């Protein structure tokens, strides 16, 4: 069942085109996911406080301008600007706190005390910061050189009435929740949470917390995958470790297909391997075995059990996590109705040397440290083995080495995929 966990790191396997189907690039795999899958869940209305992490299923339109009127951007003094030098002496004629309105017009040679967010009175076009001004009895001295319009936020500067401010398919982060509140929404229509069935197979596996003979291993993959799925806001139904028997596997898959939106498992998906999961998926639906031109995480299976999508990940713990981040995450997002499935990335400076053969894209585990120049630097984890789960704990993310690349040297700019963005 889990032979793939023993051979994935063998050096002779680096030439993935030597045997089996033509290797698929990661970009091709993600493109197939994007084109072949879409939202599978219905919609529901939820209170705004429950919208975090959900996928929006409506267009949110601003009913009013935000801000609703010209307002002060800070605490200070409001007046009509008149270019000059030094200071102008203006008569104080009022005070405008946020949430109130100044009745009347501020005339030439006059100013009002104003606070952040307060609407600027008629006759006013400029606000001077309070620390740049000084009062003198019933007058205030303001800088004459301040440009007209300084420190004033125009009506509709943030959002204009009638504009679509949030789009269907957006995942709701804290800032999207705040934006919905800013236009007066107390609830939103979102996609229902995806239901994912997760299980492991293999007589060598044991549940954490139970006795284990020397020849067995604790099932870590199911827990790492469940945590990754939880971070994406789906509902996980954990079937545990299934008996390593064809009839048990087929029965579990058939039952899961009736209640799940996606089925995920790991192990037993190397090209040419005979195992109960592949046979059961084929008997109940269809399965495509992909040889991905990446390391770690070469073997991957995508298929359907009946009409329910099925994702089979490699058995090595690091390979299972990485392939889920690179392919499983986009699949979950598409099935959840998200319009964007892009993998977050940024450029950082390499603080290590590394060489590889061309033709296979590699993802190196690395932590970030601040360099002498203040820029973030990627420090590679010593081991490249896909069985070393501690490397994922030590790392802050993955360095993406393109297929055609053969070397990284200290000081090179490299693509970095941060875990903080991938686990959400």
What per-residue confidence (pLDDT) applies to 3? 37
Domain shared by 295 and 180, yes or no:
no
- 292 within domain boundaries: yes
pTM over 0.75? The answer is: yes
Residue 340 lies in a domain: no
Q: CB–CB of 304/285 below 8 Å?
A: yes
Could you tell me if 198 and 311 lie in one domain? yes
Among residues 173, 150, 138, 190, the alpha carbon closest in space to that of 53 is found at 173
Q: Please, are residues 217 and 205 in contact by the beta-carbon 8 Å criterion?
A: yes
Residues 228 and 270 in one domain: yes
378 and 324 share one domain? no
The verdict on 366 and 296 lying in the same domain is no
Say how far apart CA 374 and CA 355 lie, in whole Å.
Answer: 26
Same domain assignment for residues 217 and 300: yes
**CATH code at position 386:** 2.40.340.10
What is the CATH classification number for the domain harbouring 309? 3.40.980.10
128 within a domain of the structure (yes/no): yes
171-224 pLDDT, tens digit per residue, is: 999 999 999 999 999 999 999 999 999 999 888 899 999 999 999 999 999 999
Instruction: Tell whether 341 is covered by a domain.
Output: no
Instruction: Tell whether 143 is covered by a domain.
Output: yes
Q: How many CA atoms lie within 13 A of 275 on its CB side?
A: 27
Shared domain check, 388 and 324: no
Burial of 301 per CB tally in 10 Å (0-12, 13-18, 19+): buried
Of 308, 335, 362, the last residue of a domain is 335
Instruction: HSE, CB side, 13 Å, CA atoms: give it for residue 410.
Output: 4
Closest CA to 397 of 359, 358, 360, 348: 348
Question: The CATH number of the domain where 170 resides is what?
Answer: 3.90.105.10
Note whether 147 and 180 are same-domain residues.
no
Q: Looking at the domain assignment, is residue 223 inside a domain?
A: yes
Same domain, 202 and 314: yes
Which residue, 132, 153, 174, sits at the end of a domain?
A: 153
Count of domains for the chain: 4
Q: Which residues of the chain have pLDDT under 50?
A: 1-18, 272-273
Q: Select from 316, 335, 354 the last residue of a domain.
A: 335
Helix (H) or strand (E) holding 329: helix 329-335
In a domain, residue 97? The reply is: yes
Domain identity same for 247 and 320: yes
The sign of the dihedral angle between the CA atoms of 233, 237, 241, 244 is: negative
Closest to 394 measured CA to CA, from 372, 362, 369: 369
Domain membership of residue 167 as a residue range: 43-65+163-191
Same-domain status, 96 and 56: no
> Is 158 among the domain residues?
no
- What is the predicted pLDDT for the residue at 21? 62
One domain, residues 287 and 381: no
Cα-Cα-Cα-Cα torsion 164, 168, 169, 174, nearest 10 degrees, comes to: 60
Peptide bond into 53 cis (omega under 30): no
For position 75, which CATH number holds?
A: 2.170.190.11
Inter-axis angle of helices 276-284 and 246-257, to 10 degrees? Answer: 50
CA distance 270 to 5: 9
Determine the distance from the C-alpha atom of residue 178 to the mean position of all C-alpha atoms in its chain, rounded to a whole number: 18
């Amino acid at each position: 069942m889990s032979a793939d966990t023993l051979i994935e790191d063998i050096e002779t396997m680096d030439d993935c085109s030597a045997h089996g189907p033509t290797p698929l690039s990661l970009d091709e795999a993600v493109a197939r996911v994007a084109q072949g899958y879409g939202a599978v869940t219905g919609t529901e209305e939820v209170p705004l406080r429950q919208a975090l992490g959900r996928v929006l299923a409506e267009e949110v339109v601003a009913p009013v301008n935000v801000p609703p009127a010209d307002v002060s951007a800070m605490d200070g003094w409001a007046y009509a600007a008149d270019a000059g030098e030094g200071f102008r002496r203006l008569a104080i004629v009022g005070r405008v706190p946020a949430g109130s309105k100044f009745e009347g017009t501020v005339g030439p040679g006059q100013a009002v005390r104003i606070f952040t967010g307060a609407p600027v009175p008629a006759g006013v076009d400029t606000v001077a910061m309070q620390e740049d001004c000084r009062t003198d009895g019933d007058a205030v001295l303001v800088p004459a050189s301040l440009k007209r319009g300084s420190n004033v936020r125009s009506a509709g500067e943030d959002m204009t009435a009638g504009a679509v401010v949030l789009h269907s398919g957006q995942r709701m982060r804290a800032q999207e929740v705040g934006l919905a509140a800013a236009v007066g929404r107390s609830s939103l229509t979102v996609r229902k949470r995806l239901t994912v069935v997760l299980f492991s197979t293999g007589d060598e596996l044991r549940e954490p917390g139970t006795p284990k003979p020397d020849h067995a291993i604790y099932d870590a993959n199911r827990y790492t995958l469940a945590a990754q799925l939880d971070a994406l806001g789906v509902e996980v139904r954990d079937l545990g470790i299934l008996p390593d028997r064809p009839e048990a596997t087929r029965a579990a898959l058939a039952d899961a297909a009736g209640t799940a939106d996606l089925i995920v498992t790991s192990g037993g998906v190397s090209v040419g391997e005979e195992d109960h999961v592949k046979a059961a998926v084929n008997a109940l639906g269809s399965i495509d075995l992909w040889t991905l031109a990446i390391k770690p995480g070469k073997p991957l299976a995508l298929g359907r059990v009946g009409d329910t999508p099925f994702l089979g990940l490699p058995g090595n713990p690091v390979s299972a996590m990485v392939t889920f981040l690179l392919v499983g995450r986009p699949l979950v997002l598409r099935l959840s109705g998200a319009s964007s499935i892009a993998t977050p990335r940024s450029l950082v400076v390499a603080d290590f040397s590394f060489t590889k053969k061309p033709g296979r894209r590699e993802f190196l585990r690395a932590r970030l440290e601040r360099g002498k120049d203040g820029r973030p630097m990627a420090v590679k984890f010593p081991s490249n083995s896909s069985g070393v789960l501690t490397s994922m704990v030590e790392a802050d993310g993955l360095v993406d080495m393109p297929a055609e690349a053969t070397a990284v040297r200290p000081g090179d700019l490299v693509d970095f995929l941060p875990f903080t963005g991938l686990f959400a």
